[in-house]
Chains A and B, each alone.
Chain A
Amino acid sequence: MSEVFTKSMARNIYYGGSVFFILLFLALTFDTMGTLPKQDNRAAITPQVALGKKVWEENDCIGCHTLLGEGAYFAPELGNVYKRFGNSTEAIKAFIKSRPVNGVPGRRSMPQFNLSDEELEALAQFLKYSSEINTQNWPPNIQG
């Protein structure tokens, strides 16, 4: 780099640029926090849904599945599984409940988590809530 462009100019761009963009990011975050109530389906977060999220986390479902496209890529997307299963929480519960303890021979397998009825219902309600978040029309189709 030439002599015209000095080290102190470079340093000023670093300081000025960082501060400006940190502040801009905070301002955008502030605006996003104001907009979210309209689209993040928070009205649906009942204590049951909150419990469902905890069951989701404590069994590390994200370690095999994606949820709204984030997570692991080993097993189907679950952000829209409620819709894929015909808007049925019963079907979701039945699927989770019916996983064989020793897996399905030769096939990618999902563990049997031995959840209580309360936990199962909460998990299914959590997945229903997730499917009703406004995600700008993602995923492109029902297969997720």
Chain B
Amino acid sequence: MKYSSQAVAKLYFMAAIGLFVGQILFGLVLGLQYVIGDFLFPAIPFNVARMVHTNLLIVWLLFGFMGAAYYLVPEEAERELYSPKLAVALFWIFLVAGALTILGYLLVPYAGLAQMTGNDLLPTMGREFLEQPTITKIGIVIVALGFLFNVGMTILTGRKTVITMVLLTGLTGLAVLFLFSFYNPDNLVLDKYYWWWVVHLWVEGVWELILGSILAFVLIKVTGVDREVIEKWLYVIIAMTLITGIIGTGHHYFWIGTPGYWQWLGSVFSALEPIPFFMMTVFAFNMVNKRRLNHPNKAAVLWAEGTAVMAFLGAGVWGFMHTLAPVNYYTHGTQITAAHGHMAFYGAYVMIVLTIISYAWPIMRGEKAANKRAQVVEMWAFWLMTVSMVFITLFLTGAGVLQTWLQRYTDTPLPFMEVQAKIAPFYWMREVAGLVFMIGLALYVYSFFAKGESSGDATPV
């Protein structure tokens, strides 16, 4: 580690992994409720478990992004972090606010939580992914501003690199777009229109900038390839992201009361959205092939390549599958969407956070890479989680195709609940794949404690 203040990233990464475990446990509860309808009812109804699952996901990814920024920004800017104390303070504020919110979901009926937290004053609750009480949302904005100030001051008073500028743009975009979560008009169509400015413009816009810059940073470090080459790739990738992804928002404006021209715009531009993901895959493999050094952290290289491949599959391929309006007419809001949502979130954002953790953690511990045995365990975890996520996606896709067929694309549509009963075997298989995912995650956690023989230093190719 070049700068001692980089070590604050450790706190953020620990919290990220802890919340990740919670997220997956609730995923398993949800998966079981899908087939045993009254499991844990009425103590933890499905909607409550779901908001815990999705909000934990978003919060731990944010912890991961912040940890990544605190680790890589000092190294890139070639100076200590502007204020390590602020970073630690914001960590605790965010963790406590997050924990209280999750406890609120679990311990108080949602309507009661809305009342307790004054949702009347500025109603923002009760929309998918934005379930947090308004005061939590305000807390998120404050933490984001403090974080941006800290990271921004470090970048602007130090060496500016393409990687840090792109990262800062992405993080600023993340915070600015989140402000649309405070706009909740009575008009449902307007509500939905701007809701996507948070959700879509995050995952298919500014988050891709964060993803690209973290990936570029790790690739420079583990391959030793010339920075100039990597930065050129980064520019092209994020250019394609924004050129396709901004108007690509239109793939959510097909059936929510918006004008018909969005069917054309949304279909055409979002059909191009796989391009930046494909370029990311070519980029990662190219850089590893052209490497100038053999880095001892084999696990980090595997995570980096895995991110590129899985993001392309989940976002690019599974996104493309249902993004053309004539297809989406039948698949909109079915298990196809859930299949895509899982693989895309895992492949792009879960994996990039695990990539930077894999690279940075050993260095923060004072080694170049984790010991040999720990790396083997970590790579087993990689394969178990990744392969089981592929199966979760395939089972949900099977469920989704049948659902579309029986309920939508037919002259004799069956009611929703009847269709769900027919496709239950797919949900059982998804649950089994989820258990394997959990085993992979347990191994992953164990890899941090595994002891073994040192994996040595980098060697020239």
Which residues in A have some Cβ–Cβ distance to B below 8 Å?
1, 5-7, 10-11, 13-14, 17-18, 21-22, 24-25, 28-29, 31-32, 35-36, 39-42, 45, 49-50, 53-54, 56-64, 66-77, 101-109, 111-113, 129-130, 133-136, 138-144
Contact = CB atoms under 8 A, between A and B. Distances in A.
B433 to A, nearest CB: 17
B119 interface: yes
Nearest to A57: B126
Given A25-B247, A64-B47, A103-B41, A143 B186 contact: no
B233 A1 contact: yes
A36 B258 contact: yes
Given A10-B232, A58-B111, A108 B46 contact: yes
10 contacts: A24-B246, A36-B190, A36-B259, A40-B189, A68-B257, A72-B128, A73-B334, A106-B37, A133-B188, A134-B257
A29 B123 CA distance: 24
Nearest to A74: B46
A57 B335 CA distance: 23
A45 B187 CA distance: 7
A29 B187 CA distance: 16
B243 A141 contact: no
Given A107-B37, A143-B413, 5 more contacts: A57-B126, A58-B126, A67-B188, A75-B416, A140-B329
Contacts of A140: 329-330, 408-409, 413
A61 to B, nearest CB: 8
Contacts, number: 226
The SS class assigned to the A binding surface is loop
B453 interface: no
Contacts of B329: 138, 140
> What 9 A-B pairs are tightest by C-beta distance, nearest first?
A63-B47, A57-B126, A108-B37, A69-B333, A138-B255, A10-B235, A14-B239, A40-B189, A69-B332
B187 A108 contact: no
A66 B333 contact: yes
Which one of A54, A57, A138 has the highest number of Cβ atoms from chain B below 10 Å of its Cβ?
A57
Contacts of A136: 254-255, 260, 263
B255 A14 contact: no
B172 interface: no
Interface in B16-53: 33-34, 36-38, 41-42, 45-48, 50-51
Contact of B187 (A31, A40, A105, A142): A40
A32 B46 contact: no
